[in-house]
Each structure stands twice: as C-alpha cells, then as structure tokens.
Amino acid sequence: MALKIVKGSIDRMFDKNLQDLVRGIRNHKEDEAKYISTCIDEIKQELKQDNIAVKANAVCKLTYLQMLGYDVSWAAFNIVEVMSSSKFTYKRIGYLAASQCFHEGTDVIMLTTNQIRKDLSSPNQYDTGVALTGLSCFVTPDLARDLANDIMTLMSHTKPYIRKKAVLIMYKVFLKYPESLRPAFPRLKEKLEDPDPGVQSAAVNVICELARRNPKNYLSLAPLFFKLMTSSTNNWVLIKIIKLFGALTPLEPRLGKKLIEPLTNLIHSTSAMSLLYECVNTVIAVLISLSSGMPNHSASIQLCVQKLRILIEDSDQNLKYLGLLAMSKILKTHPKSVQSHKDLILQCLDDKDESIRLRALDLLYGMVSKKNLMEIVKKLMLHVDKAEGTTYRDELQHTCNTKLCNCSTLILLRYISILVELTRLEGTRHGHLIASQMLDVAIRVKAIRAFAVAQMAMLLDNAHLLTGNMQRNGICEVLYAAAWICGEFSEHLEDPNQTLEAMLRPKVATLPGHIQAVYVQNAAKLFATVLRKHEGATDSQAAQETSQLLVERLPLFVQSANLEVQERASCILQLVKYIQKLQQKDVEVAEEVSALFAGELNPVAPKAQKKVPVPEGLDLDAWINEPPSESESEDEKPKAVFAKEETKHSRPRHTEVDEKELARRREARKQEQANNPFYIKSSPSSQKVYQDAPGVEHIPVVQIDLSVPLKVPGMPMSDQYLKLEEERRQKEKAEKKKKEKKKKREKHGKGKKHDSGPESEEDITPAHHVDIVTEEMPENALPSDDDDKDPNDPHKVYDIQGNLQDGSQVVVSVIFENKSDSFLKSMEFNVLDSLNSKLQRPEGAGPHDGLVVPFQLPPGVSNEARFIFSVQSIVMPQKLKGTLTFIVKSEDSSTHEKLDFKLHFTCTSYLITTPCYSDAYAKLLESGDLKSSSLRLEGVNMPFHHLLARICFHHHFSVVERIDSCASMYSRSIQGHHVCLLVKTADQTVSIDAKCDEPSLLGNVLDEIKQTFSQC
Amino acid sequence: TIRFILIQNRAGKTRLAKWYMQFDDDEKQKLIEEVHAVVTVRDAKHTNFVEFRNFKIIYRRYAGLYFCICVDVTDNNLAYLEGIHNFVEVLNEYFHNVCELDLVFNFYKVYTVVDEMFLAGEIRETSQTKVLKQLLMLQSLE
C-alpha cells in the first residue's frame, strides 16, 4: 500500500499540469489535434489512478480541452468523483468541470443528487457556494425537483453570500420545475426587503425575469417595487425595476400615470446613460399605453425627444444607435415630434455603421409627408447609387417603393423613373413590389401614362440587361408590369413596332410562365394598334409584315409548357392567320381587331361593391344551398404544408356584406371553430375563453406562476373537444376504435412480458431497475405503463392561474404476473410522488400510503390492476420510483418481500392516436401557432410503410396523408397539444420535420422516436 | 438575461466560454464560430451591439481580446456594456494588469471571477471591492 502511494507520487512528478498542457498546445500549433489526442490518452491513464489529486489535475485539463471544443463527455463519471472529494480545491475543479460539460442528457447527473445535497448543507459556506454555482449551470428537471427544498432553505441562510446565490438559482429551478414556484414565492418576496442590498437586487432580478414572462401575476407587487425604485441608488437594480414597470404598465394604466413623475425626475438627474436610456424607453412605453388626455404628455415626449437627440448627436456610435432605436418607438404615436429632427436623421444615413443607417432609414420611412417628400427622395436617390450592403439596399428600395407615393403627378413622374432606376440595380428582392407599384401608378394617373409607357417600352427593349440574374432575383416581375402597361396603353407608344418586336424575342421564352402569358396577350393588343396605325396611313405592306412577324414568332409560345401561354398563343396565332388572309384580300380589319380590346380598365375602389344596390328580391342572408354540415376549411386555400409560401400578387377583391350578415358569419365561424378540435386559437383569445369559464372567478387571485410550462394554448379547445368526443362516442364507429386501441395496448404490454425470463425467487435483486419498459423485470411483477385520459374527468378546466389541482389524469394499468412457485398476497403498490405526477389515493390516505392491490396471485397467474395518476405538465418524460410490497407464502413460512421499480412516463405515452383530416391538418399548420423542430435518422433500412407503421404503433400517430416517400402524420396529447410530423425518406435517411404548440414536448417526442429507431 | 459569455482572441481562439443556456457541444462550437465571424469584422466605427439570431451580442474589444455577452433583445445594451467593463476591471485588478496569457494559464480562475460576478444569467455582484475580497478568500482556501 505504502509503495503504491510512493509510486503514485513519483508518477505525479511526470504528469503534465495545466500549465504544461497549455504550453504544449501553444508549441504544437501545426499538429494540435495530434498533440491533444496524445494528451487525452495520458489523461485517461491519470484518471485510472486512485490518487484524487491526479484525477483532479486530469479533470482540470479536460475542462480546458472542453473549452477548446474537444469532446470530454466520456469522463463524466470521473468528474463526479472529483466533485465528491472532500477537499475544497478538488471539489471546485469537479464542479467547474461539471458546470462546463454536463447537460440534461448527461446520465451521471442522477448520481450527483445526494452529493450536491450534502454540499449544499455543508457548514463551509464556500462548499455551499461552489455547489450552488455549479448547479445553476447543469440543473435538470430531476435535480430541480429533488433539491428545490434545500435551495429554498438556503434562501434564509445566515450568510448573505449564500442567500444571494440561492435566490438567483431559484430562478433556474423555477424554469426547470415550475411547481416549485408557488411554495417558494412568499420567501422570494420576503427577500425583496432583505437587509443585504445584494440579496435584494438578486430578488429583484429573479422577479423581473419571472414578470417578463407573465406580467399579469406580478401586478400586486407594484407598490413594493415603487418603493424600491424611489429608495434604491443602485443603477443596476433601478434598471431592472424600471424594465419591470415597462412590462406592467400596459396592464394597469394607472400605474403608468404614477410612474411618469419619478421617471422624468430620474431622466433629469441621472448621469448614467444606461439608466437614462431605460427611463426614456419606459416613459415612451407608458405614454403609448396611456390613452391621450393627460396635459403634460407633450412635455414628457418633448423631454424624451430632446434627450434622444443628445444621444443621436453624440459621437459614440452606441448612443447614436440606441437613440435612433428609441426614436422609432416615439414615431409610432407622436410622428410630429420626431419630424422636426429630420435633418439629424438624414445625417445618419451617411454613417459608416450599417446598423445605424438601417435605423435611420426605418425612421425616415415613417416620417415622410407631402412637404418633405422631395427632399427625402433626393437624398435617398443619392444613397441608392452608393449604397453598400445588400440588406441596407433592399431596405432602401423598400422604403422608396412603398412609402413615397400617393402624391402629386410631378412626384409620380419622378417616382416612375425611380422605379425604373431601381430595376437596374442588381440583387434586389423587391421586383414584385416594384411591378405592382408601376401598375398601380400607371392605371390610376392618366397624366403620366405617356411617360410611363415610354419608360416601360425602354425597359422591354433592354430586357436582356435584366434577365442576366432575373431568375434568382425576381426582378423579371417588373417585365410583367412593363408588358402590360405597354399593351394596354399602346396608343402612347412612339414606335409600337419595335416594342412588339421586343416582346416576341426568343429570349422571352426563358421568362416565368405568367410573364410570358402577359407578353403574348399584350403582343396582340399591340398588333391591333399597329394595324390601325398602318391602315390609317394606307401602308398595307408594313401591316402585312407585322402579321408575318407574329405568325413567325408565336409558334414559339404555342410550344410552351405553360398551359396559359400555350392557350393564349395558339388562339392569337389563329386570329393573326385569319387576319393575314383578310389582309391579302385588302379587307380593312383594324377596327374589328381593336374592338377585341376595347374598353378601358379602371381601378376599382375597395368600397365600390358596397355602393352597388342589392337587386330587388335578392336575399343575401338566405342560403343558396343547404349549409354543408362540415365545412371546416373549404374556403381556405390549400397551402404548402411545411414550407412557408410567399404571398402571391393576387389582390383579393373583398365582397362587402352588411353588418348583420358579417355578425352572423362571425358567429357561425366562432361556433365552427369552437367545435373544431384542430383549430388552434391565438393564445390571447384562448386565455379569454378560459377566463370566461365558469368557476374561475372564484379562485383567489394570488397569481404567481411561470407562464411557460403552464400556459397551454388551445387547452380550452381540447376540453370542448372532449365534450364532442363524448357525444360522438355514442356512435358505434368511435366505440369500435376505442376498443381496438385498448386491445392493442394490452397486447403491447403482454408482449413485453416474454422478455423477462423466468427467474427463481432467490435471484431477486430488486432496486436497480431503471425502466420498466426496457429493463428486465424479475419474477412476479410486470408493470407496464399505459395511459388513457379519462374522458369523464370532471375537472375540465385546466387552470392557467396556477390552481393546480385540476391536472390531467393518466391511468396506468399494471399487469402483475407471478412467476415464482409461491403464493403472493397482500400486495401494496406505492409510488413516490413527484410534484408533477401524483398517484391518486383514496380520501383520507396520507401522501406516502400505498394502494392495496385488490387481488392475490397464485403461482403462474397474472392479473391487471389500474392506478390513476394526476399529471400536471406532460411536456417532459418522467420517471417515478415505486415499490411493491407483498407477502410470499410458501407451505411452511411466509416472508415479507419488496420489489423496487420505476414507472417511465414517456412523452409518447401522453399522445393519443387521433385521426385528422388533411384539410384540418393544413389549417392547423397554417395557423402559425406551432413551433417547429426536425430530426434526421441515418441508416434506417426498412420499407417506408414499415417505418410509418412503427411510428404509428410506438408513438401513437396516425397517417394523415401519404404521397410516395413522404407522409404527414398527426397526434394529439392528452392536454390537447397538436403534434404534426412530415416524414420523408431518401436512401436510408429519414428526415422528420415536426411542429407542435409546445416545443419541449415536441423535442422529447422526437428524442423518443429517435430512440425507437436506434434500437432497430 | 445573459445567454452566454465568450472571451475570444482575434484569431477566434476561445479564452472563456460560459453558457447559461443549454446547448449541445456542436451547437456551442457553432455559436463560438458565428460570434467570432460577426464580431471581428466590425471596427471602432461600429456600435458595440450586434443582432444575433434571436438575441443580441454586446461586445467590447480590449487589445486582442473580444469580450462578448449574448443577451435577450429586450435587455439594456448599455448596462451590459458597463457590465463587461466592470468585469474587465476586476480581472485587471485580480491579475495585476491582466493580459491574454493570464487568462490562458489561469482559465479556471477566470471562471471563478465570472461566477462571482454573474450567476444563472443575471448580474450578481457589481461592487469590485466585494468581488475582489471574495476572490481572495477563495484563493486562500486553495
């Protein structure tokens, strides 16, 4: 033994310490990777030694390597070893390594719970401190649940150093384990008035963060914070408090009024720019939330604008940027106050920092008025030429395009030329926008048509200049407008022949279909104009040449793959051929051809339809046909499922209906939405529905809660769905399905049973079973988790306010099989409740009492028992520890035995196979309320339908639609979350794009799917 | 809240990486590279703020080192900018005229400094004297 120690310390002399490692890396710049791999080999050797000092040194080096991006996850267990050293130096190294390397997926974290608990309660405050710091980085939901109480106790530690840390870490604990918020909140609130200012500010920090997520619940603390604000001198704390008020005022306008005065005082007095900026921002927010009517409003706004001007004028770029940012907020409600600083903002366009230019442009966009338009346009045009940076230039063009119109003709002339100039710039994304603006202006304003037509003709003629990069940039959309304008207003053309020729060039065929179609149609219009011109001059030769040109060129379009182009082209070709014949007979045709395109297109005012009188005898409210029973989404356009589609250029013409009709329709739609389980309402409205639910007003309003895990958008919907479900259940079909499902589950459970081989009673080694589904179970029990939401659950209202008694229920059916030769009786089933999941016990039973299993088991017999759990949050998988106690009765003796097990509630087990129609599915995806995530599986070697079947079976999905090697799937959680998958496969790689209204649930389900496939 | 703190040199070598949000290792390296790419192209004429994914980065350059803090968009830019400076002043005091090599060879001490000043993504202590006193106490325990 002694020799070993000596040997150990001699070895140590040759070990590298951290300094050597760092130096070594610096000296091996060329072959760093190789050097590090030898170092890692050495470290592996060092970790094998018993000497803790050597291990700590090795772990310290690993932490450094981890920072440089090397994988050290293999050493997780060694890190835990070092963490549990009793010597502070090593402990600290261990915790540092853990905080850098551990994450929720690290499985050894489970082993640390007791060590951390020990360190937290250590008499040495530095042990406690180091444990808290480490915990803040790697806390997992499990750790949070197990240690919440310990940390809560530390919030009242005698040392402010520890109190402060504990308070801050509680925030992380709340995030991971929201149930802890309610019991911990009173103490947290208490800490706002802690004698130590550091602890106070920590509490302010935590509450501000919580309030930012869910401000409503923290309104009651406003007076306390108000007191803190007027008394505190710590700028950091002030900033946090003021930010908090910024979040609260929209909910309580009276608060805003009270705030204005102290805030303006601070603005006047403070020298700290960060505080000044926060005050200005909050004042702006307050003023926006207050409806006007307060006399000293304008004074406050003036003060803000003045201060912001000082910021913008400052030579510090940061202040300039922030000043502009805040200014744009004022602009929305008080444009006049900002407009007077136009000069300053125009100057900022010359700034070297692109982000400042973008901000300035943003402001200008909102400032344009009739008076200052020309000046701003001039300035902007100068900038378009020299603008650098694509974002900036796009932004610039966008501003020009959308904002600077609606004015006099003179300006419009200029505008057209601006638009034309804009098209010359490469790399714009706004081709489409420019096109629609051109059309708009040309149609609306007669006076400028001639000018516009001339410009457009020029554009058509030079189309080849644009086409170089057109496919990429969509600038070719401009040609769409150009062709149409030239055709429609062809009387203004100077040389229609040339334009006609330009429109029929072979290169046109490379343009997108819809543009070609416009080309063809307008070529015909031009042709009519040309004919008329020539017949007027009795120049039949020229007219015939033109016909010939069309006859030669049009076949190109007749061959087009685009139906529209083809149709129009062949139609017009025949027409021209006919005209050609007539021309050869010297018949005058120009008048008749022009008549084809007679009549002028006028812009229609959006309200025009309203002015059309309803014809007598027409009842708009009457149904034309019987109302369709299920019209869920017939009026919806089908959209691409997972890809966002850009809005196309169709301008919808609204048909106006009277108020009554509108109200009626709205009502009908609401009704329909309410009955549609797949319709997800936007969260504010769902919340409203929620508040309207009966019974909720009776809940005492002490609203403290983390919004994130508890707010379940669409939740009320699923309740109503349940009601519907019950009605529907009477139908046979649903009944059948339900039965089928149950059968399947049971089968599933039994299938597992065969996995566990028969074992004799002596071999029982309980207590180490990690997972009942995957792990082998010894002899006599085989719990299999199964779940089913009880549709008759009387607690239909899921309480967002945090009234947590009414959660979801999960029924777990456990099959007990006696594989021993003895008789088993007096079985008691017990589970250690977590705050999230609780076993429902009969009234009067304590929280730790077990449930009696209502049967006895003779040898070789199996039976099933059901247990009900109430579950709060289903977004995370859970493992519950439990024990089964029973009496083994053999012929001459009876012994009391115990069996430990774990119940694994996977996220999948919260999903219910729910059929979904493809239109409802599309609507769901369109709603935009879903978060997306994706997964790739490599090397999956199975037919696609097997793959789908596997997902359906193991993860409770149903296939919505399948096309070739692509399928959409749907499932719904017991709390009404929608989970949508798009599964695609291509040579052994499967990609799954998924969407769900609860991102963490989705992540966990995807992980479980991944696991399913990694096992095969 | 702070999402992560990075110290990098101009070549992109990480000198400190403290994460207050869970990322896996690949994602961390990607973030480190992205931050480096975003920050190093900016010069003194630029602001010290960059929009970054859904967050923003507040950074400050000291000699060859970039100190970057990634925070939420709603956070106060100037406060965190001052926070960085405060942090650097503490480092300077603690290492007596800090230079890049100090950070490299004592990387674990730098983490200790970070942990004394920031915790769980919040600014924990701003008083330099308090932080330094605490750091000396911790050092004496070694």
Going by C-alpha positions, the residue among A243, A221, A210 that lies closest to residue A802 is A210
CA distance A869 to A812: 7
Q: Which two tokens stand for residue A156?
A: 């009242």
* 3-state DSSP of A627-659: CCCCCCCCCCCCCCCCCCCCCCCCCCCCCCCCH
Are the CB atoms for B121 and B69 separated by under 8 Å?
Answer: no
CA distance A894 to chain B (A): 52
A133 with B14: Cβ contact below 8 A: no
pLDDT at res. A729: 45
Find, in chain A, the residue whose alpha carbon is nearest to that of B126.
A236
Enumerate the residues of chain B whose CB falls inside 8 A of the CB of residue A198: 124-125, 130
Whole-number percent of chain A with pLDDT over 70? 70
Are the CB atoms for A301 and A330 separated by under 8 Å?
Answer: yes
CA distance A713 to chain B (A): 22
CA distance B98 to B91: 6
Residue A877, Ramachandran bin (φ over 0: left; ψ between -120 and 50: alpha; else beta): beta
Count CA atoms within 13 Å of residue A193 on its CB side. 10
Enumerate the residues of chain A whose CB falls inside 8 A of the CB of residue B32: 69
Query: What is the DSSP secondary structure assignment for residue A502, as one 8-state letter?
Result: H
Strands (DSSP E) contained in chain B are: 2-9, 14-19, 49-52, 55-62, 65-72, 118-119, 122-123
pLDDT at res. A1012: 82
Phi, psi (degrees; rounded to nearest 5) at A196: -85, 125
Phi, psi (degrees; rounded to nearest 5) at A551: -60, -35
Over residues A301-353, the pLDDT tens digits come to 888 888 888 888 888 888 888 888 888 888 877 777 787 888 888 888 777 77
pLDDT at res. B58: 92
Of A209, A236, A355, the CB nearest to B79: A236
Over residues A768-812, the pLDDT tens digits come to 333 333 333 333 333 333 333 333 333 333 322 333 334 577 777
pLDDT at res. A754: 40
DSSP A421-486: HHHHSSS-S-HHHHHHHHHHHHHH-GGGHHHHHHHHHHHHHTHHHHHTTHHHH-TTHHHHHHHHHH
Q: Would you say residue B75 has pLDDT above 70?
A: yes
The confidence band for A904, taking pLDDT boundaries of 50, 70 and 90, is confident
CA distance A399 to A362: 8
Going by C-alpha positions, the residue among A315, A317, A378, A318 that lies closest to residue A342 is A378
Which of A68-82, A726-740, A997-1011 shows the lowest mean pLDDT across its residues?
A726-740
A318 with B16: Cβ contact below 8 A: no
Mean pLDDT of chain A: 73
Enumerate the residues of chain A whose CB falls inside 8 A of the CB of residue B27: none
pLDDT at res. A377: 66
Are the CB atoms for A922 and A980 separated by under 8 Å?
Answer: no
Can you tell me the mean pLDDT for A582-601? 77
Task: Report the first-to-last Cα separation within chain A, whole angstroms.
Answer: 48
pLDDT at res. B4: 92
A161 with B16: Cβ contact below 8 A: no
Q: Would you say residue A720 has pLDDT above 50?
A: no
CA distance A920 to A632: 7
Enumerate the residues of chain B whose CB falls inside 8 A of the CB of residue A279: none
Over residues A15-31, the pLDDT tens digits come to 678 888 888 888 888 88
The confidence band for A464, taking pLDDT boundaries of 50, 70 and 90, is low
A69 with B124: Cβ contact below 8 A: no
Query: What is the DSSP secondary structure assignment for residue A997, as one 8-state letter?
Result: S
The SS3 of residue A932 is strand
Q: Which two tokens stand for residue A454?
A: 């001339």
Whole-number percent of chain B with pLDDT over 70? 100
Q: B133 — contact with chain A (CB < 8 Å)?
A: no
Query: What is the DSSP secondary structure assignment for residue A159, as one 8-state letter?
Result: S
How many angstroms separate the Cα of A992 from the Cα of each of A914, A934, A947, A959, A1003? 19, 5, 12, 13, 12
pLDDT at res. A538: 65
CA distance A133 to chain B (A): 7
> What is the Cα gyration radius of chain B?
15
Enumerate the residues of chain B whose CB falls inside 8 A of the CB of residue A353: 45-47
Over residues A611-626, the pLDDT tens digits come to 777 777 777 777 777 7
A67 with B16: Cβ contact below 8 A: yes
A317 with B45: Cβ contact below 8 A: yes
pLDDT at res. A421: 57
CA distance A197 to A232: 9
CA distance B131 to A897: 56
Find, in chain B, the residue whose alpha carbon is nearest to that of A19.
B105
Q: B100 — contact with chain A (CB < 8 Å)?
A: no
CA distance A221 to A198: 19
Can you tell me the mean pLDDT for A237-248? 86
Are the CB atoms for A129 and A162 separated by under 8 Å?
Answer: yes
Over residues A942-993, the pLDDT tens digits come to 888 888 888 888 888 888 888 878 888 888 888 888 888 888 888 788 888 8
Over residues B16-42, the pLDDT tens digits come to 999 988 888 888 888 999 999 888 888
Q: Would you say residue A61 has pLDDT above 50?
A: yes
Query: What is the DSSP secondary structure assignment for residue A942, as one 8-state letter?
Result: S
A133 with B115: Cβ contact below 8 A: yes
Find, in chain A, the residue whose alpha carbon is nearest to that of B139.
A89
CA distance A911 to A521: 55
Q: Would you say residue A551 has pLDDT above 80?
A: yes
Of A19, A171, A353, the CB nearest to B120: A171
Going by C-alpha positions, the residue among A302, A349, A345 that lies closest to residue A323 is A345
Can you tell me the mean pLDDT for A219-231? 86
Alpha helix (H) residue ranges in A139-221: 141-154, 160-176, 181-190, 197-213
Over residues A535-544, the pLDDT tens digits come to 766 667 777 8
Are the CB atoms for A851 and A838 separated by under 8 Å?
Answer: no
Instruction: Look at the pTM and tell me if it is higher than 0.80.
Output: no
Of B14, B51, B126, the CB nearest to A68: B14
Can you tell me the mean pLDDT for A99-103? 86
B111 with A353: Cβ contact below 8 A: no
Find, in chain A, the residue whose alpha carbon is nearest to that of B14.
A68
Q: Would you say residue B68 has pLDDT above 90?
A: yes
Q: Which two tokens stand for residue A84?
A: 């549990």
Can you tell me the mean pLDDT for A687-697? 39
Q: Give the burial class of A657: count Cβ atoms within 10 A of its Cβ; 0-12 exposed, 13-18 middle, 19 or more buried.
A: middle
Query: What is the DSSP secondary structure assignment for residue A622, as one 8-state letter?
Result: S
Can you tell me the mean pLDDT for A493-516? 81
Q: Would you say residue A818 has pLDDT above 60?
A: yes
A243 with B119: Cβ contact below 8 A: no
Surface of B (15-74) touching A: CB under 8 A: 16-17, 19-20, 22-25, 28-29, 32, 45-51, 74
B124 with A168: Cβ contact below 8 A: yes
Task: Output the CA torsion sign for A516, A520, A525, A529.
Answer: positive
Task: Output the CA torsion sign for A432, A436, A439, A442.
Answer: negative
CA A598 to chain centre: 52
pLDDT at res. A1016: 61
B76 with A277: Cβ contact below 8 A: yes
Going by C-alpha positions, the residue among A403, A478, A488 that lies closest to residue A442 is A488
The confidence band for B5, taking pLDDT boundaries of 50, 70 and 90, is very high
B77 with A212: Cβ contact below 8 A: no
Best residue in A109, A130, A137, A204 for a mutation probing chain B (most B CBs within 10 Å): A137
Q: Would you say residue A832 has pLDDT above 70?
A: yes
Which of the pair, A660 or A407, is modelled with greater confidence?
Answer: A660
CA distance A527 to A550: 8
Enumerate the residues of chain A whose CB falls inside 8 A of the CB of residue B138: 126
Q: B128 — contact with chain A (CB < 8 Å)?
A: no
pLDDT at res. A702: 38
Over residues A275-305, the pLDDT tens digits come to 888 888 888 888 777 755 555 577 788 888 8
